[in-house]
Amino acid sequence: MRNKETRKGLGKTLASALSLDANFYENAPNDAITHRVAQTIVILAAISHAIGTWVVFIINWTAISILPLALLVDALSIVAGYYFWTLTIWLIGRRLRRNSPSFRELLIPIGFAYAPQVLNFLTLIPLLGQPIELVLSVWSLLAVIVAVRQGLDINTTWASLICLLGWPLIQIAISFIQESWSRV
């Protein structure tokens, strides 16, 4: 069955992904169009994160000369985290289920699950940046749990355990990168 949401536009796709709609994650087709839409969401999440980081760096008087490199590294850390997290989920899923989806097939629903991260530019709001970043991160975690539950056809407890193996590492790595660059 084709998921019409991914064909109707990025806005509807984001809305379905943000709502944690299990049917949306279950029925997302594995084709070039949905793969590009999922990648677009991850890239938008990376750009949004870099925008929020840019404001933090400006407030902390980061040297302008290194700002473009710092923002590039920040955005790439989001994309790298996406691939790393998908890889850990895929490797564990292969051990749990013989007929688990391929790595490429998991990239689509997990890419959609990055939809809350598109709102990461909101972290530029003074005093609310870190709480907003935490809420968006947990929201993405919940979306990935739904995506993994549907993608691997396992129960919510197993999906949660699988997702929680990679999530803290990604959070620590991204925080470390942000903190390191903000001190330069």
pLDDT at site 141:
93
pLDDT in tens, 57-88: 777 666 677 778 878 888 888 898 899 999 99
- 174, pLDDT greater than 80: no
Choice between 169 and 161, residue whose per-residue pLDDT is larger: 161
- 4, pLDDT greater than 70: no
Task: Give the integer Cα–Cα distance in Å for 96 and 152.
Answer: 9
> Is residue 71 within 8 Å of 53, Cβ to Cβ?
yes
Provide the whole-model pTM.
0.82
Choice between 13 and 143, residue whose per-residue pLDDT is larger: 143
pLDDT at site 182:
54
Lowest mean pLDDT among 12-16, 26-30, 115-119, 180-184: 180-184
Task: Give the integer Cα–Cα distance in Å for 70 and 76.
Answer: 10
Choice between 156 and 128, residue whose per-residue pLDDT is larger: 156
Domain range list for the chain: 5-182
Q: What is the mean pLDDT of the chain?
A: 83
Task: Give the integer Cα–Cα distance in Å for 33 and 83.
Answer: 19
Residue entry with tokens 């839409």 = 37
pLDDT at site 5:
46
pLDDT in tens, 84-104: 999 999 998 888 877 888 898
pLDDT at site 53:
77
